[in-house]
Structures are given as C-alpha cells and as structure tokens.
A and B are shown apart, each in its own frame.
Chain A
C-alpha cells in the first residue's frame, strides 16, 4: 500500500470531525496439498514436533527446492476465483534471521507474483480490490521458554519445523474496507471461496488462515490515506473486529489530541483488548529481496490455466444466488450460512424433490449445524412433506431428523420405529372430549373467554398422547367444541 499519507494532524480536524476507517487486509492461507511447497514432506497439521521434515524443510546444506505443482494449481484456482490475472511469476528470497526460518530466508514472490489485480465481492455487492495473491513457504514454530516469552529474554527456545515449507498463499487486499464489519465480511467471504475451490481448509483456529490488518483513519471525505499501522495476532473474526475498532479509536484519539500516528507494526492482545507497538517503520527488517536462483520462473501454460478455470467449482456468491432463487422468502443470513456450511446442494435437491423451501431451510439452519451425516436430500424432502401433512409434529420431526443423520434410512420407517405414527383424528377427538369432561371447571372458564387455558388443554393432550399430537390440530379441535 503506497499512498500519500495524512501527515498533518489538526489540519481541518475539529471536535466534530467525522472519521473514516480504512482497512486493508493481508490474508495468509495454507494450501491443502499433500506435501510441502518445495519438498516431499507431509503437509499435515500437528504431529509430534519435527516429524514432518526432510533436508529441505531443515535447510540442510546442499538441499534444493523443487516446486510442488499441486500448490501452483491451487494458487491459480484461488487467483481465478478472485478474478485475478494469472501470469508468469518469479520466486524471490526474503532474507531475515529467525530460529524457525531454517534457511535464513523465506522463499516468497515479490515483484512478479502469480496472481494480480483481482476483486472480491462482499455479500452486499461491494467489490474490494485484490492487489495480488502470491505463493510462499511457511516458517516453523518457535516456543520461547522462560522470561517474557520473547526471543531476547527466553531461557531457551524450542523449534518445531513441521510447518516449515508448508505452502501458503498470501492474498493482499486493497485498502478499500471501511469498517470492522466489512473486514469481517471480507474474511468470511474469502474463507468461503478458499474452501469452495478446495484450496484451503480455512481454519483460523488452527492457524491455516491468518490475517494481518492494515488500519488507518482519515477525516470523512478526505482522499489521502492516513498513516497506517499493521495489526498482527488476530486469531478469529471476532478478535479481528475488536482489534480494528480499538486501533481506529486509538488513532482517532491521537489525531484529535494533535499527535501523529506513527507507522508501526502492532500486536493485538486478546486479554486486555488493546494493540501494542511491536516495532516502528525504522526498525522494520530490510528483507533484501532478490530473485531465487535455485528456482526457475513459473510460467503456467495458458491452456492449463484455462483448464483449471473450466474445472473451478461454483463459487459461494453464485451458490447463494441459486439458493435464494429456490428459497425466495428465506433470510439472506441463513442462505449465506447454508452455503458456508456447504449444505446448499443438499438443500436445493431436497427442495427440488418436493420439500417446502422454508421448512427445508429451517431444518438445515437449526438442526444440521453438526453436519448432515447419513441424511439424504430425498429423505429430507420426504420428512418435510410428512411434516406439512401433519403426520409429524415439529418435535417429532427433529427426532426423526437426528436419527436419519446418525443412521440414514427412510423417514417413514424411522417415524414408525420411534412410535411417531400420527394419531387418527377420531382418536384425538375422543381424547379431547374426555379431557373436557374431566376438567369441566377449566372448560367453563375457557368457554367464558379465558384463552390462556388453551395451553393447559394442549398440555394435557400431549401428556395423554406422549407428545404424539400436533398442537395446532388440538387447538382447532378445542375451538370446534366451543358453544356457537
């Protein structure tokens, strides 16, 4: 992000100045390959320390990197899904010392990244520019023991190289987000895209998706960008939102009191809810980037790129549109949720096979949060139909559904096994009449207009039928027994 900076605080700033938050995100996602970016070591999360390693992961003298073609393909998929231009690229060395950087440099891409100039559309329709999405290798992990947990004060440090060399794609967004809310939408959408194209599992909690936030503020209407700070260590969408809001407020307060915002890298602390300065621009590393001489430039064959484009799975945005078309009266958040859970295909087929859209969606949103298990779309459709026909109550349907998720099968059989056969209306009528006779006092009061007694009678019917009756039908029966 190079732009003019607002270096003159106080200029046009007054107590009632309205501020605009400007956010640009750098997202690192681990690519879901079998092996590492430059070697045959396993790319699997976890494992005993230093078990997924080899001479390349350890940077042993004489070892050489060889590019994992699958990682290149996944990077291209991401690029295409983000509407980027996919072109020739060059690996570069980013030089700095750290114990978990086995070679003393990270192989990344610098001035010629594989994907450039794309965009991502937020659910509301706003497009956020993507500057680049490039390939690079991950570092290992260092744990500093003793002292403050920082490298200079630790008693000793333990290094695990399992993660060293895991393929990453770094997606650099333009500073076009205007609130923490937009930033959260952006990351959620990006994650949905990464998962949809099967490039990454997108798990923020396991660190396979990591976000650095560049935050600045400026008076509303100003064209120039303010001085930015980069916030590291946000480990969930929620903490990202909090960190951005905190940081924006901190910068506004500085500017309002006539101070400058210093360009810094800052660390988000989840516990105190504040960002803390890590290093200033002057203390920043000089990475001494230069082209990686051990690797040839990547020049993906345009035919191959086209082939990848053709095979690209449907993207979340299109899937949301399709689902919204099939279930038009359903809340947009629920539509987004179902797509995010990758349950839109199940939902669409169930609707297509005759399940009422609203009821299908209700079940998918509320009762299938843990996944659909053995449930088929046909079974879901059939169950919803039974429910619509009054053959199953809402409570019964929920139980049938969870049985179908666990073991599959047909809803009708499951309902039978669970003893959920619908009560014949004649049987229900005689139960209602019996209860009217038994509770004559309550019945008189009900007839006199004490409608809250509806609940009492429905409860008694449920008790008598062990919950097999449909509350709505019982209410109707009670109504029909009233004196005309």
Chain B
C-alpha cells in the first residue's frame, strides 16, 4: 500500500553516493511513523534520538570519504526479542519490564557494521508465541492494509512496519512461521534462513532448535541484500554453520530456467482458501513461463508437522522461559519467600498463551509422558526430514501457500487456540527440518488483502530460492 520512500538498495546507493543524507532518510521515516503509528501500533519503542545520532555518524563518515557499508543510512526496525545494548528488550512481555540488555545481538552488530540505522523495536506476540500479534502484553498491532485485520504473527510489528513504510527493513524471528506468515498477511517479503545460517546470539529464545532470525523487506533484492549481511558464521552460537554463506544478491537475476519446482500436495489441499490456492497456481504458471519444470511433490509426513511442532516448541519454551524467576532482572512481585516470589512473579508476568505453552511443554517432558509426547514428536520430526530429503531428490524448490487465508479480523481467533495454530500449518514443517523458506507477495485475495506464496529450498539453498523469488516478483 504505502510505499513513499525508496527500497533499502536505492537508499543505500543514494546515501553512499552523497545524493541524500542519512539524516534526511531517517527523518523521512520518523515522519511517516509519527503520522501512522498511532493507528498501526507496530513499535514498542521508536529510538528517535539514537537513530538521529546514528544517522549523523553515517553522514560524518560519508563527509570524511569513508564507506559506511552496504546498508549505509538504511533504517531498520528490530523485533523486540533481539537484544539491543541499553535499549529495553521486552519480548512484548510484562516479565521483562525494565530490562536493558548489556549487549547487542550478533545481527544487530552486523547491521551496524553495514551502516544501518536502528529506528526502533517492534511489537510481537509475547515471546513470539502467536500468529496475530494479539498476544502482545502491550497492545495488538494492526494490518496497514486494513486496520480491522491482524498483521499476522508473531513478528507482526516488523511486518506492519515495513508494509506501512515506517522502515524499508525489519528483522523478525521465525520459529514456526513467525516471519513468513505475517509477511504474507502484510504483503511484504519475509525470509526464514536455514537453521544455523544466522546467529541466534542475542535472540531471546522461544524454541532453540527452531528459532531463526530473518528479514522483512519490500522487495526480493532488499531481502537478498539483508540476508547477505546477517548470514555469517558466529562462534558465540554453537549451532551456527561455520562455512561462509553463498551470496544471494549476486545470483538474483539468474532466473529459473531448468529448475525443478514441486508443488507440495499435502500443503495445498484442505483448509486452503480458494483465492489463496488460485494465486499459488498463478505463481506456478509464472515460474513455468520462466522455464522451470513444474511437478507435483509429496511430503506425506508434513501433515503431522503442526502436531509435532506444538509439542517440541512448548517443551523447549518451558525450559527456556524458566529463567524468568524475578531473581536477576525484569519483573519481581514481592512475596514471603523466594519460591513464593518466583510463583507470584511468573503468574503476574506471563500472559495466557505463554502460560498455556509452558504447561503444555512441561507436561510433554514429564516423567512417564516424555516418550508418548516429546519423544514421539521428535520421531515425527525425523520422518518429516526424511520425506523432504526424498522430495529434494526430485526437486530443487518446493512451493505452497504461506498462509491458508488472508489476514483475519482482530479477535476472530483469540478464543480458539486451535484455529489460531492452524495459521502455521504450511510454515511449520520447514522449521522442523531446518531448511530455508520465504514468503513472496503474490496478488490479493477476494477481500483485496495480500496473499503470499511460500518457496522452500533445501538447507543452504538460499541462492536458488532467491532466484525463484525474483522471477515471481518480476512476473506481477
């Protein structure tokens, strides 16, 4: 909808060549925020002063003849679960009230080194648990395309910020679809890189074996630009892939001629709205037109992805969230003893959905239930990995809708957790396998709201995935 300013690629080029100043760019975006943020509520905090002073630094570098880097002067919004030194990092939860991290996440350092300007921290479902950003402890974010609709989640604030023109780039985190689904619902590009490709150091953990950081942008080229900046090996994250990443930006225009693209049958059937399915078919046709070989792919175990996900993710979350005990940081509710303080703090500090998942996960790991729940979910995960491995023997890329529906109404699914969980049915399998996937906007539904197409690639298949994304974008 509102695209008043250039892409990240254009802004960086203009700033690096001295055509415009970083300060001008930042003020322009802060102006847009001032105008629309009250309605959209994308941010938990807009770091106006820090952004302006950072922009001045970039301008001074330019004046001194230095190159600030490939993201020179480009505003970036960060999901509020990414640690920022001295700036509150809340995960949209009461329990982290008042906490300011003493360090930056690795991705924040990398963006900084590339010349980017952090303009704020975005709203999210509490601890990234949700698909609509309605689980924020502060307030829901609204979809810039229609304020009565949700932006998706959990990175809804980041998706909305890009869609509303508040920033050309935002980072989110994707545990079960939390980048791709809101990207689809807000009509922007969203990327979940291969697990281990982007360092998780400084990302407040939800489910450690599934979490991955990725970008939201307006264009595929911008997404490639940011991916190339943040996809680096990092010794501070033991699960980080130690080999350097292949550039995605460099191969962007190599096309899809000869690529084998499969449409995943199991993710395109029941439960997918017909308008969403129609856009997917148009995308398939566009790829075929561009020279790809199209086929029907089957990943039978993918239908169990959601069930496995809703055991594994809560199990890890129940452990990851145990540290919020009121002892060292964040909220503390006084009580008569240390264990009572612990209980009072957690009861007051966590929202309903977070509590639901902590209980679910604790149960799944309990003595006597471990094998039936967590253990079995891990076996299903292995089956899904095996089924995808088989599909990759026949195909270079796989396609599906990103979300079964377009953006739904605020409040429409809050009373029914299962309906909400179904939003992730197409995105979850890829988190379980660790592969990469992205959502590319592809037209609108019958309600005029954006539809996203999901492109999936094998682990480290980002370059070929971006080639297909560029073809889809160009075909619109």
The residues of A with any CB-CB pair to B shorter than 8 Å are 55, 58-67, 93, 95, 97, 99, 102-105, 144, 151-154, 157, 159, 286, 288-290, 293-296
B339 contacts partner chain A, Cβ-Cβ < 8 Å? yes
B101 contacts partner chain A, Cβ-Cβ < 8 Å? yes
Q: Are B366's CB and A64's CB within 8 A?
A: no
Give chain B nearest CB distance to A263 CB in angstroms. 15
- Please tell me which stretch of B9-17, B203-211, B420-428 contacts chain A, meaning at least 4 of its Cβ atoms lie within 8 angstroms of it: B203-211
Distance of A58 Cα from B330 Cα, bound (Å): 13
- Please tell me which stretch of B115-123, B260-268, B320-328 contacts chain A, meaning at least 4 of its Cβ atoms lie within 8 angstroms of it: B320-328
B239 contacts partner chain A, Cβ-Cβ < 8 Å? yes
Chain A residues within 8 Å of B316, by CB: 290, 293
Interface of B is mostly: loop
B329 contacts partner chain A, Cβ-Cβ < 8 Å? yes
Chain A residues within 8 Å of B338, by CB: 99, 144, 151, 154, 157
- Residue-wise, chain B 370-387 has the 8 Å CB interface mask toward A (1 for contact) of 100010000000000000
Distance of A58 Cα from B203 Cα, bound (Å): 16
Chain A residues within 8 Å of B370, by CB: 288, 290
Q: Which residue of A lies closest to B201 (CB)?
A: A64
Chain B residues within 8 Å of A293, by CB: 207-209, 239, 316
Chain B residues within 8 Å of A144, by CB: 338
- Please tell me which stretch of B40-48, B214-222, B230-238, B468-476 contacts chain A, meaning at least 4 of its Cβ atoms lie within 8 angstroms of it: B230-238
User: 19 A-B contacts, Cβ less than 8 Å apart?
Assistant: A62-B82, A62-B89, A62-B105, A62-B203, A62-B204, A65-B238, A66-B235, A97-B322, A104-B321, A105-B319, A152-B337, A152-B339, A157-B338, A288-B319, A288-B366, A288-B367, A290-B365, A290-B374, A296-B238
B52 contacts partner chain A, Cβ-Cβ < 8 Å? no
Residue of A93, A99, A289 touching B327 (CB-CB under 8 A): A99
Give chain B nearest CB distance to A66 CB in angstroms. 5
Q: Are A99's CB and B325's CB within 8 A?
A: yes
B202 contacts partner chain A, Cβ-Cβ < 8 Å? yes
Q: Which residue of A lies closest to B363 (CB)?
A: A288
Chain B residues within 8 Å of A296, by CB: 238-239
Chain B residues within 8 Å of A66, by CB: 235-238
Chain A residues within 8 Å of B319, by CB: 93, 95, 104-105, 288, 290
Distance of A154 Cα from B341 Cα, bound (Å): 12
Give chain B nearest CB distance to A300 CB in angstroms. 15
Residue of B89, B236, B321, B322 touching A64 (CB-CB under 8 A): B236
Chain A residues within 8 Å of B103, by CB: 55, 62
Q: Are B366's CB and A61's CB within 8 A?
A: no
Distance of A294 Cα from B237 Cα, bound (Å): 8
B96 contacts partner chain A, Cβ-Cβ < 8 Å? yes
Q: Are A67's CB and B322's CB within 8 A?
A: no
Give chain A nearest CB distance to B407 CB in angstroms. 30
Give chain A nearest CB distance to B235 CB in angstroms. 7
Distance of A154 Cα from B89 Cα, bound (Å): 32
Q: Are A151's CB and B83's CB within 8 A?
A: no
Chain A residues within 8 Å of B24, by CB: none
Q: Are A103's CB and B322's CB within 8 A?
A: yes
Chain B residues within 8 Å of A153, by CB: 337
Q: Are B322's CB and A104's CB within 8 A?
A: yes
Q: Are A104's CB and B325's CB within 8 A?
A: yes
B7 contacts partner chain A, Cβ-Cβ < 8 Å? no
B342 contacts partner chain A, Cβ-Cβ < 8 Å? yes
- Residue-wise, chain B 186-218 has the 8 Å CB interface mask toward A (1 for contact) of 000000000000001111110111000000000
Distance of A99 Cα from B370 Cα, bound (Å): 26
Distance of A293 Cα from B316 Cα, bound (Å): 8
Give chain A nearest CB distance to B238 CB in angstroms. 5
Q: In B128-165, which residues have CB < 8 Å from any A CB?
A: none
Q: Are A295's CB and B238's CB within 8 A?
A: yes
Chain A residues within 8 Å of B325, by CB: 97, 99, 104
Q: Are A61's CB and B201's CB within 8 A?
A: no
The residues of B with any CB-CB pair to A shorter than 8 Å are 82-83, 89, 91, 96, 99, 101-103, 105, 200-205, 207-209, 235-239, 315-316, 318-319, 321-323, 325, 327-329, 337-339, 342, 362, 365-367, 370, 374
Give chain B nearest CB distance to A78 CB in angstroms. 23
Distance of A102 Cα from B328 Cα, bound (Å): 8
Q: Which residue of B lies closest to A39 (CB)?
A: B236
Distance of A59 Cα from B202 Cα, bound (Å): 12
Q: Which residue of A lies closest to B89 (CB)?
A: A61
Q: Which residue of A lies closest to B234 (CB)?
A: A64
Chain B residues within 8 Å of A286, by CB: 366-367
Chain B residues within 8 Å of A295, by CB: 238-239
Distance of A105 Cα from B337 Cα, bound (Å): 20
Q: Are B102's CB and A55's CB within 8 A?
A: yes
Distance of A294 Cα from B208 Cα, bound (Å): 6
Q: Are A105's CB and B236's CB within 8 A?
A: no
Q: Which residue of B lies closest to A59 (CB)?
A: B323
Chain B residues within 8 Å of A289, by CB: 365
Give chain A nearest CB distance to B464 CB in angstroms. 26
Chain A residues within 8 Å of B205, by CB: 61-62, 294
Q: Are A288's CB and B362's CB within 8 A?
A: yes
Q: Which residue of A lies closest to B361 (CB)?
A: A288
Distance of A93 Cα from B320 Cα, bound (Å): 10
Distance of A293 Cα from B236 Cα, bound (Å): 14
- Most chain A C-beta atoms within 10 Å of own C-beta, residue among B316, B321, B337: B337
Distance of A63 Cα from B208 Cα, bound (Å): 12
Give chain A nearest CB distance to B117 CB in angstroms. 21
Give chain B nearest CB distance to A452 CB in angstroms. 72
Given A61-B89, A153-B337, A293-B208, A288 and B365 touching (CB < 8 A)? yes
Distance of A98 Cα from B325 Cα, bound (Å): 9
Given A59-B328, A104-B325, A95 and B365 touching (CB < 8 A)? yes
Give chain B nearest CB distance to A161 CB in angstroms. 8
Q: Are B202's CB and A95's CB within 8 A?
A: no
Distance of A294 Cα from B316 Cα, bound (Å): 10
- Most chain B C-beta atoms within 10 Å of own C-beta, residue among A60, A62, A93: A62
Instruction: Name 13 extra pairs, CB < 8 A, besides A95-B319, A154-B337, A288-B366.
Output: A60-B328, A61-B83, A61-B89, A61-B96, A62-B101, A62-B201, A63-B201, A64-B237, A66-B238, A104-B323, A151-B337, A288-B319, A290-B316
Chain A residues within 8 Å of B99, by CB: 61
Q: Are A61's CB and B238's CB within 8 A?
A: no
Given A99-B325, A288-B365, A294-B238, A60 and B101 touching (CB < 8 A)? yes
Given A104-B322, A288-B366, A62 and B202 touching (CB < 8 A)? yes
Chain B residues within 8 Å of A67, by CB: 238
Chain A residues within 8 Å of B329, by CB: 60
Residue of B82, B202, B322, B339 touching A105 (CB-CB under 8 A): B322
Distance of A153 Cα from B102 Cα, bound (Å): 34
Distance of A258 Cα from B432 Cα, bound (Å): 56
Give chain A nearest CB distance to B206 CB in angstroms. 11
Q: Which residue of B lies closest to A38 (CB)?
A: B238
Which 7 residue pairs spanning A and B have beta carbons closest together? Answer: A104-B322, A293-B209, A288-B365, A293-B208, A61-B204, A62-B83, A62-B202
Give chain B nearest CB distance to A369 CB in angstroms. 45
Chain A residues within 8 Å of B201, by CB: 62-64
Distance of A104 Cα from B207 Cα, bound (Å): 15
Chain B residues within 8 Å of A154, by CB: 337-338
Q: Which residue of A lies closest to B196 (CB)?
A: A296
Given A55-B102, A286-B366, A294-B208, A97 and B89 touching (CB < 8 A)? no
Q: Are A103's CB and B339's CB within 8 A?
A: no
Q: Which residue of B lies closest to A161 (CB)?
A: B328
Distance of A62 Cα from B325 Cα, bound (Å): 16
Distance of A152 Cα from B204 Cα, bound (Å): 31
Give chain B nearest CB distance to A287 CB in angstroms. 8
Give chain A nearest CB distance to B267 CB in angstroms. 25
Chain A residues within 8 Å of B239, by CB: 293-296
Q: Are A97's CB and B236's CB within 8 A?
A: no
Distance of A105 Cα from B327 Cα, bound (Å): 14
Distance of A66 Cα from B235 Cα, bound (Å): 8
Distance of A157 Cα from B205 Cα, bound (Å): 28
Distance of A66 Cα from B239 Cα, bound (Å): 9
Chain A residues within 8 Å of B203, by CB: 62
Q: Which residue of B lies closest to A296 (CB)?
A: B238
